[in-house]
Structure 1
Amino acid sequence: MSYGRYGSSVGRLPREAFRPSAIFLGLLALLAVSGWMAWADYGDARFNVFLFVAAGWTISLCLHEYSHALVAFKGGDDDIAHRGYLTLNPLKYSHPLLSIVLPLVFVLIGGIGLPGGAVWVNHGAIRSRFVDSLISFAGPAMNLVLAILLVLPFTFGLDSGEHQTFFAALAFLAFLQLTASVLNFVPMPGVDGGNLLYPWLSPQWQRGFNHVAPWGMLILIALLWSPRINSWFFSVVYWIGDLIGLPSYQAAVGYELFRFWDR
């Protein structure tokens, strides 16, 4: 989540400011169709899984950023609605590098969900430091909620028997939600976990935070290339996955199917 300063523009907001965008509805349709194809084993199983996970991941990115925006709007930043952040349009959250390139690369080569959208908040309009922290908390919390919801079919034993392609895709999508949540809760400048702490820092620490924040996510990504840190990271993800009942072997199968080009 990115930070910015804007003036407030209070006024009557059109319904379009809150209506789900056509792009988001299209993503939901793609998720439903590709999910049915994976469920029915129609066509190429690997490509079906790729479409399902790609659509589901993009939808979760929209929901992650929407959660930031909704809390900010409720907390006093009326301009959030004018900027289109409450329409669930992924293009409104786009940053060429952080929103598209890096998340795609990390899912493809490492199976790591990396939310990279940007919601610019007028923090001067937010009513309290607690709400300011809650804005940053809302995004990764949404990823965690989505992971739990995606795991429910496994909790109730619905994955036994047929439709293994679909359930493998579902498990991998849940795994991506966990990686995104863990990454974003890291208390580093430029990441939601660091932004959560920012309102409570002294002015001196905030100045230092602001110098590091533009590079925080890139620093975190660089740290993940360290074998030891990478091992710690995935240990935490698998530990949380075990707590909520995510079958890691199913997620691994889903990742292999997702890489449809690597046969």
Structure 2
Amino acid sequence: MIGIGPFPVQTITVIVAVLLAWVSARIMARRLPDVFYKAAGSMILDALFWGLLASRLAYIAQWWDEYAVAPMSMIAIGDGGFTWWVGVVVAIAYIWRRTRLVRGLRRPVLAGVMAGVVVWAVAGGVLDSMQRSAPPLPDLRLATLDGRPISLSTYAGRPIVLNLWATWCPPCRREMPVFEKAQTEFPDIAFVLVNQGESAQQALAYLKTEGLDLTDVLLDPASEAMRSMNSRGLPTTLFFDAKGRLVDSHLGEITMPSLKDKVLRRFIPSTK
């Protein structure tokens, strides 16, 4: 997984794009009176707030059936659930309205927004290419809950959603029911949950206590999967296509809308 320290590189990209938009707007507004020059930067931040809010609400509306089942997941913005094009449209509309009486401010602020959007889009394309060129699914030697040796290559030939987890990890525990439901909704996809650093007794006790019926839970006592896949923390969810290529990843707790969104976009195109 690509990242800087504990932060996914996608988060860093968004921050850089916002900073570039803010700086660009202020630089282009230098020729305006001082009060307007300062307003350019603050307007970018206001537009960002309304754009993010609109894009989140649009995403919730798109996946309303899933969010309605677990309403608290609506505030779990870490799942990356945003309809970005809606946010961009709302941000531009907000700026257009705010500058209707100060037309001179409109151009530098909109130019700043466009600069940020272009950088974000280009960086997203580059990151997607880098992710697709990442090493394929490793042929790790793991074990089933009853102690039988098994290799990840056993799942070759079909899409794989690989989740790294542990019983001591609260976000891992919260997302377990999501994978239980997903394995039923998408039977042609292998949802493989690889426990990191714990014994079969610990994993089994947790699954029994929670009443979870997960079909592919494997053991990785040495946490080899985290090292080989450059995971920076738990939980980590990795999406491999039928050829074993990494096509997406998610660090942290994943919600059902986010999981279904990634599965449909990466494995079942044109379904949603």
Q: Fold match, TM over 0.5?
A: no
Q: Choose between structure 1 and 2: higher helix proportion.
A: 1
By relative contact order (CA 8 Å, sep 6+), the higher-ranking structure is: 1
Q: Which has the larger radius of gyration?
A: 2
